[in-house]
Amino acid sequence: MKRETPIFTGVGTAIVTPFKNGKIDYEAYGKMIEFQIAGGVDSIVVCGTTGEAATLTDEEHRDIIAYTVKQVNKRVPVIAGTGSNDFAYAVDLSRHACEVGADALLHVTPYYNKTSQKGIVEYFSKIADACSKPVILYNVPSRTGVNISIDAYRALAKHPNIIATKEACGNLSFIVELMEAVGDDIDVYCGNDDQIVPMMSVGSAGVISVLSNVMPKETADLTHLYLEGKCKESAKLQLKLLKLINALFMTVNPIPVKTALNMMGMCDIEMRLPLCPMTEAEDEKLFNILKDYGLV
């Protein structure tokens, strides 16, 4: 049964992890968190894909979750990305996130080793059994090579500690079927910024967003307008932001959004291999679009 109160409604920012001289730049990161909260976002999602979690050391992963909880200081919920294709590690990291005060955990489908649909149900169910905080599933088949089926979702939605999913399959027909199947049992968050309004129109609770890294207020406004019943105004804003949304995905996320934040003076361009800077032509295109939106 769905929680009476979702972890959040509106926008959760899949926040970037800034690096400087090979280490996490906590000075820049703290300012980024304040920028998000001042912009009115409804949650901070740390150590997701956009946060380059795959290249964080274990110590860094644990430290940045603890730092985020402390810096946010209960002003909005903190959702910690603690997923892995190593079950034991995922459980250990999740327990740490719970101990330091994260409000919920984001768990991606096991990648590379992949699994069957039966394996997905067993994996997520046992993760949820082991955690004291609620679990949000993360379905992003373009990165993991595996998709959560509707039948698997039905089974997982029965678990009392699995309360939501971040759905980034990109298939709106699948989303509609998903909402019909489990929308009364778990919350569904949009995982693609270009589909926020379409997904909210069939019952999504909001978005876990890349766009909000650079435009937190506008992304929050987009979701809040829809939640207030101002659907036409929300749709108009979705379309207004589309050019920027597409620019932030002109190459592999989070390369463009980190580049944009650098152009805005918020953090260094530094990222970790295999991610690398964009081409000069891509930089110029992104800068001009940011300029069009008044961001530089």
> Among residues 29, 123, 138, 189, which one is catalytic?
138
Cα–Cα nearest to 257, from 269, 272, 241, 243: 269
Give the single-character DSSP code of 1. -
For range 119-143, the mean pLDDT: 95
On the question of pLDDT at 25 being above 60, the answer is yes
> Among residues 123, 133, 166, 258, which one is catalytic?
166
Question: Which tokens go with 168?
Answer: 């980034």
Cα three-residue angle 142-222-70, rounded to 5 degrees: 75
On the question of pLDDT at 216 being above 60, the answer is yes
On the question of pLDDT at 2 being above 70, the answer is no
On the question of pLDDT at 100 being above 90, the answer is yes
For the chain, give the percent of residues with pLDDT over 70. 99
Cα–Cα nearest to 259, from 285, 286, 219: 286
Cα dist from 242 to 72, 95, 177, 205, 283, whole Å = 29, 38, 25, 20, 18
Residue 132 CB neighbour total at 10 angstroms: 11
**Please, which pLDDT band fits residue 74 given cuts at 50, 70 and 90?**
very high
For the stretch 234-258, pLDDT in tens is 999 999 999 999 999 999 999 999 9
CA distance 52 to 16: 7
Give the single-character DSSP code of 227. H
For range 104-118, the mean pLDDT: 95
Amino acid at 173: S
pLDDT at 258: 98
Domains and CATH numbers, the chain: 10-229 (3.20.20.70)
For range 280-292, the mean pLDDT: 97
Cα–Cα nearest to 142, from 282, 61, 249: 249
Known catalytic residue at 111: no
On the question of pLDDT at 4 being above 80, the answer is no
Evaluate whether 194 touches 245 at the Cβ level (below 8 Å). Answer: yes
Known catalytic residue at 138: yes
On the question of pLDDT at 5 being above 70, the answer is yes
Q: Which helix (H) or strand (E) holds 187?
A: strand 187-190
Cα three-residue angle 54-15-13, rounded to 5 degrees: 130
Whether pTM > 0.75 for this model: the answer is yes
For range 131-151, the mean pLDDT: 94
Question: Which tokens go with 118?
Answer: 């039966």
Q: Which residue has the tokens 């749709």?
A: 235
**Please, which pLDDT band fits residue 1 given cuts at 50, 70 and 90?**
low
pLDDT at 214: 98
**Please, which pLDDT band fits residue 3 given cuts at 50, 70 and 90?**
low
Cα–Cα nearest to 239, from 222, 214, 220, 256: 222
For the stretch 166-202, pLDDT in tens is 999 989 999 999 999 999 999 999 999 999 999 999 9
